[in-house]
Amino acid sequence: MTPERFARITSMLNHRQPDLTVFMEQVHMQHNLAAIVRTADAMGINNVHATWDIDSSRISRNVASGSQKWVNVHSHDTVQDAVAALREQGMQIIATNLSATAIDFREVDYTKPTAIMMGQEKFGISDEALALADQDVIIPMVGMCQSLNVSVASAIIMSEAQRQRQIAGMYGQTCRLPEEEQHRILFEGGHPIYRQLCREKGLPYPPLDSEGQIDAPEAWWNAIRGRK
């Protein structure tokens, strides 16, 4: 790993927001999921959650895994399972929905642990999901259309969350991810060849020194090289 690569990954890790995420209900279009994951990475979001449209689940999962290696995509069987997992992390659930009870998305305090719930492209968010949310929000529009593409809408809301958190000093100070997760991302991003070898040989990721270089015992190197 070059010093420049190490510095870039370290800076990225220091901007990650473990208590901000997006949950997409019943993913249908592969390109929308890929766009949401890409935007999440740009906004410092480390995890995206999803339930899947039955007809496109296999394709969508493959797109998700290949579109952005820096973001974890968590699959859930049901919306209840997804919300339960997010509640365990202490998150408020914000749902996008055009309704009489919806508030301007900018009125939400995104410095709190927050999950942004987006509905399916065809039908929007389900009544079941809405019943589990704390608040529904809208993006005010003054044209003839009443809705935006789901990836565009999610990007607008994520950008507002980033703006609020930036003002609050939540970006770039220290890494807020668990040490194990930091190590995984740093190793996989900085040593892709050895990452693949570890997977092929069933070996744990080795320790890294203060400059991100592999600091493994001789036994690990022998195992990587196929020696006894």
Please choose, from the candidates 106, 113, 110, the residue with its C-alpha nearest in 3D space to the C-alpha of residue 91.
113
Residue 20 is labelled as binding a ligand: no
Whole-angstrom distance, CA of residue 27 vs CA of residue 16: 24
Residue 126 is classified by DSSP as: -
Please choose, from the candidates 18, 27, 11, 16, the residue with its C-alpha nearest in 3D space to the C-alpha of residue 154.
27
Asked if residues 32 and 151 have their Cβ atoms less than 8 Å apart, the reply is yes
Whole-angstrom distance, CA of residue 126 vs CA of residue 210: 48
CA 136 to chain centre: 21
Residues whose CB falls within 8 Å of the CB of residue 172, separated by 6 or more in sequence, listed in order:
11, 14, 15
Residues whose CB falls within 8 Å of the CB of residue 108, separated by 6 or more in sequence, listed in order:
94, 114, 135, 137
Residue 96 is labelled as binding a ligand: yes
Q: Which two tokens stand for residue 11?
A: 């800076």
Query: Residue type for 20, please?
Result: L
Residue 139 is labelled as binding a ligand: yes
Tokens 């993913």 — which residue? 27
Q: Where is the binding site for S-adenosyl-L-methionine, in residues?
A: 96, 139, 148
Q: Where is the binding site, in residues?
A: 96, 139, 148
